Amino acid sequence: MSTKVNSEAIPASFEDEFGVRYSVDGKRLIECGNKDLESYDIKEGTEVIGVMSFRECTAIKHINIPNTVKTLERYAFSDCSSLQHLTIPSSMENIEVNPFFNNGILELKSDSPHFVIENEMLIDKRNNCLISYLGNNKIPSIPNWVNIIGDEAFVDCDYIQQIAIPNSVTNLGFMAFAGCRSMLQVIIPDSVTDIGYEAFCNCCLLQQVIIPESVTSIKPDAFKFCTFLRKIIVPYGSIPKFKQMLDKSVWDKLEYAPDPEEIFYNN
């Protein structure tokens, strides 16, 4: 039986001496209510670190996760701007959407066989899904064995100016690059088949996107609030195809590459 909280059944809970709340059975860490906490050892027996449980704990520097934790839920350590070191234990089996959003963590390590950190990116090795970008580079380098850019993996990384998506990637998740406000161009490789909901939403300085023939699905609002978007370059003869996938609001941006045999970025 899942220990995940839902809106219909919030478990009875208790608060420990540090102001951290757990489910009554001790298996789920629900919330850290002490925003002045600087260091904390999560209790042995905890299996789930809950949704946004340490959100905006801006004073916390050190958190020890015991080798009983199996699941790290969405945004669990979001906005923990002082967090210095954290180790994912060997027991970890599930990591949900971007638990380190807007985090600033200095060093993340993984003892779990399922997860690896490479190029400042947390990646699930079982499906080669990039879960979270932890760095602040203007041009981050995605490993060339990643297949999926996960939901919200780069959300609000507003310092990114350019992203090189490798030819190994097939799927761009929900809001994968949303809020990358400094990004000027995107070249989507011909390995990609699916572009998720709001994938580039609010990339307000984005000017040009190149989309290959391989893309067969573009979810709604993929380029919503891309204020300065001028061109969506697609393969020769494919504008009717892409009009079936793209929102009408960007149809007037569709163009063919100058050379119908080769799509390229033209400054």
Q: Which domain holds residue 179?
A: 118-267
Please tell me the total count of domains within the chain. 2
Residues 6 and 124 in one domain: no
Q: Hey, CA dihedral for 95, 115, 38, 66, is it positive or negative?
A: positive
Q: Which of 89, 113, 137 is the last residue of a domain?
A: 113
pLDDT for 18: 97
Residues 184 and 266 in one domain: yes
pLDDT for 7: 42
8 Å CB contact between 188 and 208: no
The rounded distance, in Å, linking the Cα atoms of 8 and 84 is 36
Residues 203 and 260 in one domain: yes
Residues 87 and 31 in one domain: yes
Residues 101 and 147 in one domain: no
Q: Which of 113, 141, 169 is the last residue of a domain?
A: 113
Q: Which of 79, 113, 147 is the last residue of a domain?
A: 113
pLDDT for 120: 94
pLDDT for 3: 43
Residues 100 and 154 in one domain: no
pLDDT tens for the chain, 267 residues long, are 344 444 444 568 999 999 999 999 999 999 999 999 999 999 999 999 999 999 999 999 999 999 999 999 999 999 999 999 999 999 999 999 999 999 878 899 999 999 999 999 999 999 999 999 999 999 999 999 999 999 999 999 999 999 999 999 999 999 999 999 999 999 999 999 999 999 999 999 999 999 999 999 999 999 999 999 999 999 999 999 999 999 999 999 999 987 644 544 444
The rounded distance, in Å, linking the Cα atoms of 261 and 122 is 37
CA dihedral (74, 158, 164, 123) in degrees, to 10, reads -20
pLDDT for 11: 60
Q: In CATH, what number is assigned to the domain containing residue 86?
A: 3.80.10.10
Closest CA to 188 of 161, 208, 159: 208
